[in-house]
Structure 1
Amino acid sequence: MGLLRSAATVSSFTLLSRITGLVRDVLIARAFGAGPLTDAFWVAFRIPNLLRRLFAEGAFSQAFVPILGELRSQSDHDKVRRLLDRVALLLTLAVMLVTVLGMLGAPWVVSLIASGLRSA
């Protein structure tokens, strides 16, 4: 029953996230309409959204969660804590690197993500 409850909790929060995202999109469209500033916002919003999908919802979480669960069932708390510390450090360094590269290559990244936009 614990697995079913956990799945229901995750599903409920995912649904809530999708609903609040829709409300956000409607409010932004209502307040700002269609225009270059709104387009710039959506382009800028795609990059962190992509990282969230990759790390929180994507391959990383699908690969890491089973490993963490197995380690928790077979090892002591200190070993699990060391793994979590290492993974957190690695993710922090990776995000910092991606941030620096994104800042340096911002024009290229924007043209890649939003190739149809014209300069304002």
Structure 2
Amino acid sequence: MAKCGFDVNKCNRSMLGRGIYFTDNVVKAYQYTQPDDGGMCCVIMARVLLGDFVVATNHSDIPSTSIQPPCKKCMSTVCKKETGTPHPRFDSVVYTGGLNKEFVVYDNWHAYPEFIIFYKRL
């Protein structure tokens, strides 16, 4: 990851679809860390370009099957426009429905790992 960055193709489907998830609270990130055999964990501090984002206050606002952010016109992740040029999409999703904000990008180039922090839980 330090050499190649994030890869959305390696992401599993999750609450707001298959994207790369970030938070501005290390406690939230801590929930997803698993220690290795030596007890070491790591957290990645990343720079994330949200661009033109949409705010989701409920996890049902964005289907878990999404592979891209919603359309700016119809707010659907599967745009209803059938002919011609597709409607523009938001660049990312900001989820505010939980205790901590979560930021989801669906494109590898919207984020890069800046620091990889290794630590042991006490």
Same fold (TM over 0.5): no
Greater fraction of residues in helix: 1
Band of TM-score, shorter chain:
under 0.3
